[in-house]
Structure 1
Amino acid sequence: MKLSVVIPVMDEEGNIQPMMESLREALAGVDHEVIFVDDGSRDNTVAALKAESYRHTRVLVLSRNYGQTTAMAAGIDAARGDYIATLDGDLQNDAGDILNMVERMEREGWDVVAGNRKGRKDGWLFRKLPSKAANLLIGRLTGVQLSDYGCTLKVFRAETAKNLGLYGELHRFIPVLATLQGARITEMDVQHHPRVSGRSKYGLGRTMRVLSDLTLMVFLQKYSSRPMHLFGSSGILVLTAGMLVDLYMVYLKLLGQDIGTRPLLFLGILLTVVGFQLITTGFIAELMMRTYYESQNKRPYRIKEEYVGGG
């Protein structure tokens, strides 16, 4: 099978019938499957999916609402295509862009082609402005420069998609996760339409979750295989500062000054204790990473290709 399209949905009853029609038209003549993953809908989304399904359609109904990332991971795990596309279930992405993205991937040899919503049809204050700020911050901190991290429409080679390690709410950082595998990523402009049915599941309330996940991404990108470099280096700096303060306090004591009530003494003790804790955390994290790799026979690298010469 050439293509699998994964579409997480939740409470999208009104969008199912037009989405099925757009998928039939856009993917006609291509060996494909469309995997809808219902993420705990409370309306008649599942009934609509079953009623409108055609022979290339599969429907996975999760036992409860797990979140978009988990629903997407379930669909990717079930996918059988050589290429896997992810698509939102709100009709704002256009299924007609999928094959153009696949064609570019094949022609230019990319591992991931990410969509960039050209002329985005969302409100400026609560959707576009936070999105632009997030794109700038993520690109600056991770070094993975994309114009539109929030666009769900992406196409992957199957081996890349199935090794993303999606969990929590990390679907926003799929390009970063793919880069950790050594994937080659590009982006291309895609169409974007206003929502006509259902309600958006996004809002300003997710800002703190995005920042928390971004912190995790930076850690995974820079220190996942060498946590001691983060905790140990920080601990040594803090411990050194604490010991210098403590030595200064000892010097003052030898001069006959009263240091028992001075705030600087408590600061020196605090810095010393925190420094030791950071270094100890580094040791523990290092042991955990070694256990993670060795107990599961994992490797901290991925071989993309192997060539054996003949003759």
Structure 2
Amino acid sequence: MKLSVVIPVMDEKGNIRPLLENLREVLAGLDHEVIFVDDGSRDGTAEAIKALADARIRVLVLSRNYGQTTAMAAGIDAARGDYIATLDGDLQNDPEDIPRMVERMEREGWDVVAGTRKGRQDGWLSRKLPSKAGNLLIGRLTGIQLSDYGCTLKVFRAETAKNLGLYGELHRFIPVLANLQGARITEMDVRHHPRVSGQSKYGLGRAMRVLSDLALMVFLQKYSSRPMHLFGSSGLVVLAGGLLVDLYLVLLKMLGETIGTRPLLFLGFLLTVVGFQLITTGFLAELMMRTYYESQKKRPYRVKEEFVGSG
């Protein structure tokens, strides 16, 4: 099978019929399957899909609402295509862009083609402004410069998608996760439409979750296989600061000054203790990473291709 289209849905009953009609029209020339993952819908979304399904439609009904990332991971795990496209079920993404993205992936040899919403049809304050700020911050901290991290419409090679390691709410950082595998990533403009049915699941309240996940992404990208470089280096700096403060206070004491009531004494003690704790955390993190790789026979690398000459 050439293409699997994975669509996480939650309470999107009113969008199912037009979405399926559009998908059937634009994917008619491709050997494909469409995998809907119902993420705890309460409005009969799964039943609406089943009523309209044909042999190319699969429905995964999750036992409860797990969130978009987990639903997306379930669909990707079940996908059988050489290429996997992810798509929102709210009709804002346009399925007509999928064949163009697949064609570009094949022609230019990319591992991920990420959509960039052209003329985005969302509210400025509630969606566009936070998204622009988030894209700028993610690009600056990770070094992966994409215009629209929040666009669900993406096409992957199957081996890339199935090794993303999606969990929590990390779907926003799929390009970063793909980059950790050494995937070649590009972006292209895709169409975007206003929502006509259902309610948006996003809001300003997710900003703090995005920031905390971003901190995790930076750690995974830079220090996941060498945590001692983060904890050990910062620990040594803090410890050195603490020892300098302690040395200064010792010199004052030798000169006959009273140091017992100085706030600086508490600061020196605190920096010294924290420094030792950070270094110890680095040792423990290194041991955990070694256990992770060695006990499961994992490798901190991925071989993209192996060639054996003949003759």
Cα offsets for 1:115-143 (capped at 9, x unmatched): 00000000111111110000000000000
TM-superposed deviation, 1:44: 1.1
Q: Return the letter of the residue paired with 1:173.
A: F
- For residues 74 and 29 of structure 1, the distance between their equivalents in structure 2, rounded to whole angstroms, comes to 26
- 1:247-282 deviation line (CA, Å, top 9, x unaligned): 111111111111111000000000000000000000
Q: Percent identity?
A: 85
Residue in 2 aligned with 1:164?
Answer: 164
What is the match of residue 35 of structure 1? 35
1:289-310 Cα shifts (integer Å, max 9, x gaps)? 0000000000000000011111
Instruction: Structure 1 unaligned segments of length 5 or more: list them.
Output: none
**Rounded Cα–Cα distance in structure 1 between residues aligned with 2:45 and 2:141:** 39
Residue correspondence of structure 1 range 66-215 to structure 2 within 5 A: 66-215=66-215
How far apart, in 1, do the equivalents of 2:308 and 2:6 lie?
A: 36
Give the equivalent residue in structure 2 for 1:297: 297
CA distance in 1, matches of 2:205, 2:70: 19
Tell me the equivalent position of 1:275: 275
The offset of 1:29, in angstroms, is 2.2
Q: CA deviation at 1:55?
A: 1.6
Per-residue deviation, residues 48-76 of structure 1 (Å, max 9, x unmatched): 01111122000000000000000000000
Shift of 1:42: 1.1
Amino acid at match of 1:226: R
Which amino acid letter does the alignment assign opposite residue 120 of structure 1?
A: R
Q: What per-residue deviation string (whole Å, max 9, x for no partner) do you get for residues 160-204 of structure 1?
A: 000000000000000000000000000000010000000000010
Listed as ranges, the matches of 1:252-263 within 5 Å are: 252-263=252-263
1:232 correspondence with 2:238 = no
Give the aligned partner of residue 60 of structure 2. Answer: 60
1:1-28 Cα deviation digits (max 9, x unpaired): 0000000000001000111101100100
Which of structure 1's runs of 4+ aligned residues deviate more than 3 A?
none
Residue 30 of structure 1, CA deviation: 1.1
More moved, 245-254 vs 3-12: 245-254
Residue 112 of structure 1: CA displacement? 0.2
Alpha-carbon RMSD across the aligned residues, in angstroms, is 0.5
Q: Distance in 2 between matches of 1:37 and 1:30?
A: 21
Q: Give the aligned residue type for 1:18.
A: P
Aligned residue runs from structure 1 range 16-35, under 5 A = 16-35=16-35
What 5-or-longer segments of structure 2 have no aligned partner? none
